[in-house]
Amino acid sequence: MSDLRPDPSTFRTRLLAREPMIGTFMKVPASQNTEILGLEGFDFVVLDEEHAPWTRGTLDAALLAARAYGTAGIVRIARPDANSILSVLDDGAIGIMVPHVDTAQKVRDVVSWARYLGGTRGSGASRGGEYGKRGGDNYRISDAITTVICMIEDRHALDEIDEIAAVEGVDALFLGRADLALSLRNAEGSAPGIQEAVERIVEAANRAGKPVAAVVQSMQSDETTWLRGLGITALMVASDIGLLRQAASSALREFNALMRPGE
């Protein structure tokens, strides 16, 4: 691990500055995959509590691994409530990714639960606060580090997208394109297509001065070129499981070409 790598605590600053950063979703509830990606130089990982069997204990271990190997540990929380947000931030998460954000009020609640000063986050001497080492500076330092990313993945969110993006304390919007496309498809009456919806979200973020993040399956794809053209600099590639599948598929093709030519 290079000494020149940015400290994970600078993730929020780098995100807001729109520095190019790479991350991925973590589906396997263990620390080793996070360690490997940190060693390889990934800027951040998102531990996917919403869609994978993470527990408080496995999240704690993986967040420690992220810190140890120099990558920012974010948690996509399963439940957007005060206790869920408090627990992962206390365990040392650099930030939270909140699924299905569709109203400005929901955003205001999330921001309040994630912030000490001007918010309602409970105080505790844990890894998230360097076990009390920061002393009286803990509230200020923690608030400066903690990153709030809101996933836009419901058609109803488009009705309030400018208000959602403008909420103070929202650091970035995330394009939840799979669920958003499904939500648009299920809409009664007319609804925009997914490309138009994505462009509306990015435009609202730009008006509010907020960056946008997205996930792609490959860095060499038309969708990635399109998203980069929209100005997206925080890109996630697949997931730990997806990367394993890609590597396994590549190894199998190479094996067959070498050992079973002509089949």
Helix or strand run (H / E) with residue 215: strand 212-216
- At 51, the amino acid letter reads H
Instruction: Name residue, tokens 């996917």.
Output: 48
41: left (phi over 0), alpha (psi -120 to 50) or beta: left
Residue 87: phi, psi to the nearest 5?
-65, -45
Instruction: Name residue, tokens 């650091």.
Output: 171
Residue 189: phi, psi to the nearest 5?
85, -165
> Closest Cα partner for 37 from 253, 217, 250, 242?
242
**Euclidean distance between the first and final Cα of the chain, in Å?**
42
Chain centroid to CA 21 = 11
Identify the bridge partners of residue 76 per DSSP, sorted by sequence position. Answer: 48, 97
Q: What does each C-alpha distance from 260 to 247, 253, 255, 257 come to in angstroms?
A: 19, 10, 8, 6
Q: How many whole angstroms separate alpha carbon 136 and alpha carbon 134? A: 6
What is the set of active-site residues?
A: 51
Q: How many whole angstroms separate alpha carbon 28 and alpha carbon 127? A: 22
